Amino acid sequence: MSDTHDPQASDAETEEQLIELAGRIFEAARGGDAAALEAFLAAGAPVNLANERGDTLLMLAAYHGHAQAVRVLLQHGADPNQVNDRGQTPLAGTVFKGNDEALDALLAGGADPHAGQPSAFATAQMFQKDELLARFAQQ
């Protein structure tokens, strides 16, 4: 018997599996499944994994208001100031969406209210969120 192993077919299969796995990781971030994120990260998933728009796991968790998932990602070293392809940070997304618990988690994790375009500070100005502007001024 000869070995009819096709390395290109194997590469395509591996790529398909990786894409499917990445989709599950992004869904865990979007859905706030902190336990699944913890398991994926412990198994070696990159904490700053980003999708085709540059949205990181942290951006998705923060934008959807999942504070515990935000904390898990930050504990694993996620960059709280990494911008997506539009120049937005996770903190600016939480200001826009109005989730205080996710915002608190990001600030505790080192998020800079002045990073990104528009920044979280500029977003708070735009929506006249004076309590956040006062808080950001202390950062």
pLDDT tens for each residue of 18-46: 889 999 999 999 999 999 999 999 999 99
CB 132 within 8 A of CB 138: no
Q: Hey, what domains does the chain have and what are their CATH numbers? A: 7-137 (1.25.40.20)
Structure tokens at 48: 């700053």
**CA dist., res. 48 & res. 72, Å (int):** 12
Q: Count the neighbouring beta carbons within 10 Å of the beta carbon of residue 35.
A: 11
pLDDT tens for each residue of 48-87: 999 999 999 999 999 999 999 999 999 999 999 999 999 9
pLDDT tens for each residue of 81-131: 999 999 999 999 999 999 999 999 999 999 999 999 999 999 999 999 999
Average pLDDT of every residue of the chain: 93
